[in-house]
Amino acid sequence: MSAYLATFPSPDRGVWHLGPIPIRAYALCIIAGIIVAIWWGERRWAARGGTKGTVIDVAVFAVPFGLVGGRLYHVVTDPELYFTEGRNPWKAFAIWDGGLGIWGAIALGAVGALIACRRKGIPLPAMADAIAPGIVVAQAIGRIGNYFNQELYGAHTDLPWGMEVFQRFNPENPDDLLNGVATGHIPLPESPVHPTFLYELIWNLLVALLVVWADRRFKLGHGRAFALYVAGYTVGRGWIEMMRTDTANHILGLRVNVWTSILLFAGAVVYLVLAARRGPREAPETLRGKDQPGPDEVPVPADEPEHAKVTADAPAEKPAEEAPAEEPKNTEES
C-alpha cells in the first residue's frame, strides 16, 4: 500500500462512447492545444501591431497541413507499426489512435502558413514569432493525451513520482488495447514507470516562459522567438527521448528523434545568430497585410453611395464665418 501511495495511477481508459460516437481523450487534447495556440497567437500578433483575425486565417491553412505532416512523420519514422507482417496498413490513417510527429507537423504546417502569409502579404517569420509560445503550450496539452493513451512512458522507477501502468482489456478486439479498459488494476511488469510525457509537459511550459521572457526583454523579431522555441524544446526532447522505452528506430545507437533534436538544435542556434543581423523587430505596419485599408483611407459602408467616399487627406470644408455681432446702441440720453 505504501509503495502505491508513493506513485500516481494511469487512467483506466482513454476512450468513452456517447452512443456509437467514441470520445477520445487524445483528440480532445489536440483540439484544446490548437485552440490555445490560436488564441494566444492572436493576442501576441495584435500586440505587435498586426490585424486581429490574421492568426485564425493562417491557421485555416496551417492546421490541416500540420496534422497531415505530423502523421506522415510518425508513419515514416515507425513504418513497422503499419507495414510489417500481421499489421494493418490502413491503421496508418487512424490519427485518432495517437501518433503525431511534432517535426512533421511543424514542417508541413509551416508550408500551409507560408501559403496563407503570402496570400495576406505578411512576413512568415513575424507570424512564427507570434505563435511560438502557443505552439509549445499546445504540445504540453497534447502530452496529456499520451497519459490517457498509456503511451510514451519510460523504464521502471522507484521514484515517488513514478506512474502505475495497468493492463487494459478489450473483449471485442484483444489486440486493440488502446481502446481497452483497465479492470482490476493489474499492473504491468515494468510498473511503476518514469512518466516521460509528464517530464516533457513540464519542460514545454518552461520553454514557453523562456520564449515570452526573452521576447519581452530583447524584442525578438525575424523568427528569432520561434528559433528560441525550437532550440529550447529540442534540448529537453533529446534527453527525455532517451528515457522512453516505446519502440523506435535507431541510427548509430540513438533513436531517430534524438538525432532530429540534435540537428534541429544546431540549426536553430545558427538561425538565431544570423537573424540577429537583420536588425530590430519588424515594423508594425508590415504586419497589417495587403488586404487591410491603408492609413489614408476611411472605410465606407457597402450601402453608401459612391460619392460618399472620402480620404483622410481631403481638405475639410471650412465652416462659414459668422458676421460679427453689432454693438448695441446706447439709447440712454445724456
Q: Is the C-alpha dihedral spanning 212, 53, 50, 58 positive or negative?
A: positive
C-alpha grid cell for residue 127?
A: 507570424
CB 78 within 8 Å of CB 249:
yes
Extract the annotated binding site: 143
Distance CA 11, CA 195 (A): 13
Measuring CA to CA, which residue among 136, 137, 163 is closest to residue 150? 163
* Amino acid identity, position 123: P
C-alpha grid cell for residue 227?
A: 528559433
Question: Which class for 313: exposed (0-12), middle (13-18), buried (19 or more C-beta within 10 A)?
Answer: exposed
Please list, in sequence order, all residues whose beta carbon lies within 8 angstroms of the beta carbon of residue 137, skipping any fewer than 6 positions away. Answer: 33, 36, 37, 40, 204, 205, 208
3-state secondary structure of 304: coil
3-state secondary structure of 184: strand
Distance CA 185, CA 41 (A): 41
Helices within the chain (DSSP H only)? 2-5, 25-47, 54-77, 80-83, 102-120, 124-148, 196-218, 224-241, 256-275
The DSSP letter of residue 332 is -
